[in-house]
Amino acid sequence: MRKSLIFSGLVLIGLVLSVSILSLSSSSGYASLPNPLQLLYPGLTPLPAQSPIPNPFATMTAVGRPQTKAEGGSAISPPVTEARVRDYIATHLSTGGIMALNTTVESVQFITIKQLKVLLNNDPFLDQFPLDEKVVYVTLIGDFSVPDAPTDTVMHSAYRVFSARTGNELMGGLIR
């Protein structure tokens, strides 16, 4: 008797849930039901079903680099000064997939692409710029990591490079 009462209760709960779901849905079916994550986070935009999962290694090898043009991403309004660079970094700690904590600007250097190529071991990304182009090379100390990377490695030095002419952020990365 007790087992049949429990079974009847479960059947009744199932029917109530089914009727509730059907009453919420429109004639087009379940597609009109709200996404539970969107109810919890109203501003959330779901990813398309075909979106590939980002490769953390791709983020690590191309940190902060523009994908299509050499101008980089908008960052600091000209004129670019050391104070503006420091202010920008204080409010934009993380960049290009690198998470930054306890960050301090170690140095801000106004140098040419030619000098930067020496510092960055002739990074081929820099070949698209004239050698006399002025840039701002910023070194940072703190705790830097790449979320979702296969290892939980934390580095303690990083760099960011801005155009001294436009203020755009050109690149950045971790320093070993």
My answer on whether 6 and 64 are in the same domain is no
What's the pLDDT score for residue 57?
32
- The CA-atom distances, in angstroms, between 87 and each of 112, 126, 139, 170 are 22, 25, 14, 17
- Using DSSP, state whether 105 is helix, strand or coil: strand
Query: Does residue 112 share a domain with residue 63?
Result: yes
Residue 47 lies in a domain: no
| Per-residue pLDDT, 120 | 92
**Secondary structure element (H or E) that encloses residue 4, with its range:** helix 2-24
17/89 same-domain check = no
| 51 within a domain of the structure (yes/no) | no
Same domain (yes/no): 138, 64:
yes
Cα dihedral sign, 23-29-31-36: positive
Pair (35, 60) in one structural domain: no
pLDDT of residue 68: 36
Residue 49 within a domain: no
Q: Structurally, how many domains does the chain consist of?
A: 2
Taking the chain (176 residues) in consecutive chunks of 10 residues, what is each chunk's mean pLDDT? 54 48 46 50 48 36 40 80 94 82 94 95 92 96 84 87 94 86
Q: Which domain holds residue 137?
A: 56-174
Per-residue pLDDT at 147: 78
Residues 127, 157: one domain? yes
Residues 30 and 92 in one domain: no
